[in-house]
């Protein structure tokens, strides 16, 4: 069964736009799990424009399923993750000013760096996932960096799905097959939605987890958070 991890960054964005504590990201994490999510994802950025480092600690105290912290492995980020001790850390190559993740790692060019970072987290008992484009070489080299999983960057699939679903999914199937051969678990995320999630799930072998934030939180404005989480879980059956 593929787990649904809800990224609650957008809830923090709304809170920060007004100041104060509403909506409460800790309460949101509790409710997401209560409504059926099998994990909570946060992505603290250096400017703390949505999830703050202090939020990461508070949310850790309430998560009862899986806790996934994603971000660029700066020294501050590494220290945070080692201190918090989540279930999983997902390494992304975002620049500090990136609006959102827009590419996967070049696991060949940055192999030495990634190998050292992965080793630190694994020595602390934290599962490590590396964010990659759907490229077989990048997947294979992620395994050589010591990662436990890869997270497939799915924006290219999402943007091409409506016009040509079969064509959009093809490189992801090949990347997933390469992951299986390399002994890697497979996660996926970015721009997955109610419209395209079911087809992706049906076609990707051994998909362990999807991390979804923007589309899910947007849908919750119309359908309610509990109903929306159940709608997404339905697409993963």
**Which of 43, 66, 209, 235 is flagged as catalytic?**
43
CB-based contacts of 53, cutoff 8 Å, min separation 6: 44, 80
110 is catalytic: no
70 is catalytic: yes
* Helix 9-18 × helix 25-34 angle, to 10°: 150
CB 130 within 8 A of CB 72: no
What whole-number distance in Å separates Cα of residue 90 and Cα of residue 50?
17
50 is catalytic: no
**Which of 33, 66, 190, 209 is flagged as catalytic?**
190
- DSSP-derived letter for residue 205 is T
Residue pointed to by tokens 């090949």:
174
E strand spans, the chain: 3-7, 39-42, 66-71, 88-91, 127-132, 149-153, 185-189, 207-212
**Which of 70, 151, 209, 235 is flagged as catalytic?**
70
- DSSP-derived letter for residue 11 is H
Q: Which residues are catalytic?
A: 43, 70, 190
């Amino acid at each position: 069964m593929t787990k649904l991890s809800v990224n609650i960054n957008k809830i923090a964005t709304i809170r920060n736009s007004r100041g104060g504590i509403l909506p409460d990201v800790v309460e949101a994490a509790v409710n997401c799990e209560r409504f059926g999510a099998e994990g909570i994802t946060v992505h603290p950025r250096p400017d703390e424009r949505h999830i703050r480092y202090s939020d990461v600690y508070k949310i850790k105290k309430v998560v009862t399923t899986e806790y996934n912290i994603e971000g660029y492995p700066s020294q501050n980020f590494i220290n945070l993750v080692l201190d918090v001790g989540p279930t999983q850390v997902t390494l992304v190559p975002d620049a500090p000013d990136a609006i959102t993740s827009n590419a996967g790692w070049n696991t060949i060019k940055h192999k030495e760096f990634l190998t050292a970072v992965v080793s630190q987290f694994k020595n602390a008992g934290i599962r490590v996932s590396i964010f990659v484009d759907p490229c077989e070489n990048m997947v294979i080299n992620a395994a050589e960096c010591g990662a436990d999983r890869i997270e497939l960057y799915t924006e290219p699939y999402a943007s091409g799905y409506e016009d040509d679903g079969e064509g959009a999914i093809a490189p992801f199937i090949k990347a997933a097959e390469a992951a299986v051969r390399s002994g890697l678990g497979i996660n996926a995320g970015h721009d997955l939605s109610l419209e395209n999630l079911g087809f992706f799930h049906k076609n990707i072998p051994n998909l362990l987890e999807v991390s979804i934030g923007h589309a899910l939180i947007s849908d919750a404005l119309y359908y309610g958070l509990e109903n929306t989480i159940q709608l997404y879980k339905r697409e993963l059956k």
